[in-house]
Amino acid sequence: MLAARIERFPIAGSFTISRGAKTEAVVVVAEVSDGTHRGRGECVPYPRYNETPEAALKALRELGDAVAGGLDRQALQAALPAGAARNALDCALIDLEARRAGVRAWDLLGRPTPTPCITAYTISLGSPAAMAEASAKAAHRPLLKIKLGSDSDGECIAAVRKAAPNCELIVDANEGWTPSGLERNLAACAEAGVTLVEQPLPAGWDDMLGRIRRPVKVCADESVHDRRSLEGLRGRYDAVNIKLDKTGGLTEALAMADAAKALGFDIMVGSMVASSLAMAPAMLLAPMARVVDLDGPLLLARDRDDGLRYDGGLVHPPEPSLWG
């Protein structure tokens, strides 16, 4: 049996990127049950990809009869396109399979056991002074992810570095830079000791990245979705950000990570702003990742009762009560 619903989690303050701000995380939860065991998965439909919670909910509910008839993860890959709805159901089916078998999800899938790892902590886009203040408060964390995408990006990243002198910094421009400012902004990031820049230009403008000297490693986010999009990024990006809501679930995400490694890309595992239920499956990618960015629950005013454990800059693998 398949059940699905929309849930809302208030964000502590607001979360601001180059495309705007939001004050709550709206997620869709899928639950599958065989009458004895129950599996859960969570997704975040993203307007950037023309997704809405209502449409994802409808897509899931339309698969109710197929799930009741035995739809498995392999068939699911063809039943829904890559995206948020498929992610929620894929992760729910993995959770159910693991519970039926009495094993952890990573053992079920033949993957390394995840261990506590450093996760990035996000600093929202704002004025240089506001971002410096937020960074100073988070300066005890080993890894900060800085949202950029304004006319004052050079000032912002310099202010952040001054406020958090000992942190590793990565930057996410969320497609917010222009070709005319690309090299200037990359140079400012290099000067601040930034180690990675995510998606500086809009998706589709990737060719310019192959024509310049990149003083900082560049990671594709909006330009990469699943395995099919990897080949076209060679020579333009150094890393790819794998998010389950883009790949359409953990099944494709793991296959994509294997393929990306084979092509020489560094791996970043990321997520949308959501509860621990959305982060938990992504922890299976962490052993392969150069950068882990699973801080979504830390940005919420409240998380699930059985949420992931965050300890300073570390995120711990999920307990069975949450997922897997």
What gap in Å lies between CA 108 and CA 24, rounded to an integer?
34
- Judge whether 138 and 164 are in contact, CB under 8 Å: yes
Local confidence pLDDT in tens for the 324 residues of the chain: 999 999 999 998 767 665 566 789 999 999 999 999 999 999 999 998 999 999 999 999 999 999 999 999 999 999 999 999 999 999 999 999 999 999 999 999 999 999 999 999 999 999 999 999 999 999 999 999 999 999 999 999 999 999 999 999 999 999 999 999 999 999 999 999 999 999 999 999 999 999 999 999 999 999 999 999 999 999 999 999 999 999 999 999 999 999 999 999 999 999 999 999 999 999 999 999 999 999 999 999 999 999 999 998 999 999 999 999
Task: Single out the catalytic residue among 22, 58, 137, 243.
Answer: 243
What does the chain come to in residues? 324
- Provide the pLDDT for residue 16: 63
Q: Give Rg (Cα) of the chain.
A: 19
What gap in Å lies between CA 129 and CA 249, rounded to an integer?
38
Sign of CA dihedral 245, 307, 316, 4: negative
Burial of 231 (0-12, 13-18, 19+ CB in 10 A): exposed
Q: How many CB atoms lie within 10 A of CB 13?
A: 12
Q: Is position 147 annotated as part of the catalytic site?
A: yes
Q: Where are the alpha helices (DSSP H) in the chain?
A: 53-61, 64-68, 73-79, 84-101, 105-108, 128-137, 153-163, 179-191, 244-247, 250-262, 276-282
- Provide the pLDDT for residue 13: 74
What gap in Å lies between CA 12 and CA 104, rounded to an integer?
32
Question: Hey, what are 77's tokens?
Answer: 């890959």
What residue has token string 């099919």? 228
Task: Single out the catalytic residue among 22, 137, 145, 147.
Answer: 147
Question: Hey, what are 161's tokens?
Answer: 């570095």
Q: Where are the alpha helices (DSSP H) in 164-275?
A: 179-191, 244-247, 250-262
Q: Is position 145 annotated as part of the catalytic site?
A: no
Cα atoms in the 13 Å half-sphere on the side-chain side of 322: 20
3-class secondary-structure state, position 291: strand
